Chains A and B, each alone.
Chain A
Amino acid sequence: MTSNITETKIATKSITLIQAINDGMKTVLERDDTTLILGEDVGKNGGVFRATDGLQEIFGDDRVIDTPLSESGIIGTSIGLAVNGFKPIAEIQFMGFIYPAYDQIMTHASRIRMRTMGRFSVPMVIRAPFGAGVRAPEIHSDSAEALFTHMPGIKVVCPATPYDAKGLLISAVEDPDPVLYMEPMHNYRSFREEVPIDYYTVEIGKGIKRTEGEDVTLITWGAMVPLVEKVANQAKENGISCEVIDLRTLYPIDEGLIAESVKKTGRAVIIHEAPRTGGLGNDIVSIINDTSFLYLKAPIERVTGFDVPVPFSSLESHYLPTPDRILKGIEKVTNF
């Protein structure tokens, strides 16, 4: 992983992505009394993944609130809290359980600012672990980002590293509008990174170049980022130099970063876990079409989940993009 730490003076600690999320929430709860955490099992239990571990002990059950098992209820009451002076961080235990709350997000959270021309707004964060590859039970492994990037009025972020997890969490809480904060559960504990102990932010709307390269641009996010970096290394051994872009924010996408890279390489492969049809990869194809079409040396490849429900765990390794599929995509655009 590329380190984001440029100033050695900053005090850091080596933590995992889930610890960084915890640290980010602790930071905002300390700084801002109006922030609250709501969700199922977030209090005493510290969250099923321990994302909120220890926070209720520090901030009390009045600010780290175990709610009834009620997704629409969590989001709907958070909207009421948000329009009335609070900044709720609402946890949906798994993204596959966000659907009961979709109505509240689609018809209210994302529209209240526009409907009232700014009189009311909903500064809330919805946290949701997503993605396959951890042998979870059914419905626990969905990647539903496109349902939300298609929804006007909400931002969607998706950190892939501990550093970005904390910085984006803080930015999401400080954002005046609703932000869906997608957590790649596959990466919760898969590696550590030096993360500043104190407050810092990662700007929403900015992607990052993880690996510099010349021949092909690989565009991805979330749990796919470390996998794609690994594949980029393999490709390098085969003589293909790949540039890896981690979008970090899925709406609004960093179009400039994509365009700049594709103009340089002339080739692009987009990798995501979610099903292909209607997937965010198609929007990225359109961004390249709009910004860098004449620089392309080959048609853009997409390596994605299939147009099937995320399967039971016995088949999930076939569902997810594999190094072989990604390598094949890279070869296809280089050999065109």
Chain B
Amino acid sequence: MVESFPMKKVIDEQGNLVTASDRDLIDQELVQTAYYHMYRIRTFDKKAKSLQRQGRIGTYPPFEGQEAAQVGSALALGEDDWLFPTYRDHGAMLTFGANMTRTFLYWNGRLEGCIPPDGKRIFPAAVPIATQILHATGASWAEKRKGTKNIAIAYFGDGATSEGDFHEGLNFASVFQTPTIFFNQNNGYAISVPFERQMNSSTIAQKGVAYEIPSVRVDGNDFFAVFFEMQKAVNRARSGKGPTLIEAVTWRTGAHTTADDPTKYRPEGLGQDVVDPILRFERFMKNEGFWNDDFAVNIHKEVENEIEAAVKEMESYPKANVEDLFDHVFAELPNQLVNQKDSYLQLLRGK
């Protein structure tokens, strides 16, 4: 099966083009955009970990090491497409246009953190595993019914492929030929369980065969490989040719969450040979004449300023409003909830 799904690569670990002619597909704007977003979400991720250690946000699941997969996929989407993320996909969400302050707010336990900017079709991160795969299928089915060319992408990890909802989602998408992209980040571990114990299949891409869904395996640490395969999948979906399954093979550099200790289950040294996707991209930029110190310095400064401002805004955000505990469960509050709310508010007000 590994032979049937060769890992697509555009640049190697040293940042060299695997196929020289691919150079024609790459221009400065794409390179700079990709670098900016990868650097930006990496810095966000580092900041989030640091804030968690200082007790300034809650438990946080880092995505370090998965930047090429998240940016490469999100940048291939169109303005009106739908994004259905998991809790480890805030990098993709930020790249697609989620607000950074709100992203920090989410990890600080605030409902406001799930609200996308106006017009942005970004669903709240799914915390149960694989459930969002069906939502993406349904939302993209709706787009097809409306006759638009919009699509939906569902993000999910290697562990999610063991859940029923993964298979039900692929089957529905296959039966109804929905414009859905199933974007798997195979980062090697589902908390403590390695890929080899999660499944006896050698790839995730091969799981698409049963559903006759075009499936592809890409080097998830190679921005270009992810981006180009995503573009193909997006075009296929927009032109009515149905869903695609993409397995982006990547590596979770850190822990499952800030509450997790991977030294308990991950053999020492495992993954050390994985070349960091951003380092790899920088090597490519230098090899191919895209690197520009001024550009990099400016980007770094811009990102740091943005993150500092977002943290400041998050920390000075008005306190959570107790009425929000009640007010959004239904469009209109049933009497039961009105009574519960009123009596609790009266207690708070000392009555």
Binding site for B on A (CB under 8 A): 62, 67-68, 70, 72-73, 75-86, 100, 103-104, 107-108, 112-121, 152-153, 155, 176-177, 205, 251-253, 255-256
Q: Cβ of A68: which chain B residues have Cβ within 8 Å of it? A: 168, 171-172, 175
Query: How many A-B contacts at CB < 8 Å in the complex?
Result: 135
**A86 CA / B141 CA spacing, docked (Å):** 10
Contact B164 A72 (CB under 8 A): yes
Among candidates B135, B331, B335, residue contacting A80 with C-beta atoms closer than 8 Å: B135
Of B137, B143, B337, the contact of A77 (CB 8 Å cutoff): B137
| Nearest B-chain residue to A66, judged by Cβ | B175
Identify the B interface with A (CB < 8 A).
82, 111-112, 114-116, 123-124, 126-128, 131, 133-143, 145-146, 152, 164-165, 168-169, 171-172, 175, 324, 328-332, 334-337
Given the complex, which residues of B lie within 8 Å of A72, measured CB to CB? 134, 164-165, 168
Q: Is the CB of A84 within 8 A of B139?
A: yes
Assess the A73–B168 pair: CB atoms within 8 A. yes
Are B112 and A117 neighbours in the complex by a CB distance under 8 Å?
yes
Query: A83 touching B134 by the CB < 8 A rule?
Result: no
Given contacts A73-B171, A100-B164, A113-B329, contact A84 B131 (CB under 8 A): no
**19 A-B pairs, CB-CB below 8 angstroms?**
A67-B175, A70-B168, A73-B168, A76-B133, A77-B135, A77-B141, A78-B138, A80-B136, A80-B140, A83-B123, A85-B142, A86-B142, A103-B165, A114-B328, A117-B112, A118-B328, A120-B123, A176-B331, A256-B335
Q: Contact check, A80 vs B142: say whether CB atoms are below 8 A apart.
A: yes
Tell me, in angstroms, the Cα distance from A160 to B165 when the chains sit together: 34
Q: Chain A's nearest CB lies how many Å from the CB of B72?
A: 24
What residue of chain B has the Cβ atom nearest to residue A77's Cβ? B138
Query: Could you tell me the distance in whole angstroms from the C-beta of B263 to the nearest C-beta in chain A?
Result: 31
Residues of B within 8 A of A103 (CB): 128, 131, 165
Main secondary structure, interface of B, reads: helix
* In the complex, residue of chain B having the shortest beta-carbon distance to the beta carbon of A253: B336
A113 to B123, CA, bound (A): 11
How far, in whole Å, are A183 and B133 apart by their CA atoms in the complex?
Answer: 29
Nearest A residue to B334, CB-CB? A252
Given contacts A116-B124, A117-B324, A153-B329, contact A77 B172 (CB under 8 A): yes
User: CA–CA, A72 to B171, complex, Å?
Assistant: 12
Question: Which chain A residue has the least Cβ–Cβ distance from B139?
Answer: A80
Knowing A76-B169, A83-B135, A84-B143 touch, does A119 contact B116 (C-beta < 8 A)?
yes
**Is the pair A86, B145 in contact by a Cβ cutoff of 8 Å?**
yes
> Smallest distance from the beta carbon of A203 to chain B beta carbons, Å?
12
- Nearest-neighbour CB distance to chain B for A298, whole angstroms, equals 26
Given the complex of chains A and B, what is the CA–CA distance between A184 and B168 in angstroms?
A: 29
* Inter-chain contact B135/A76, CB cutoff 8 Å: yes
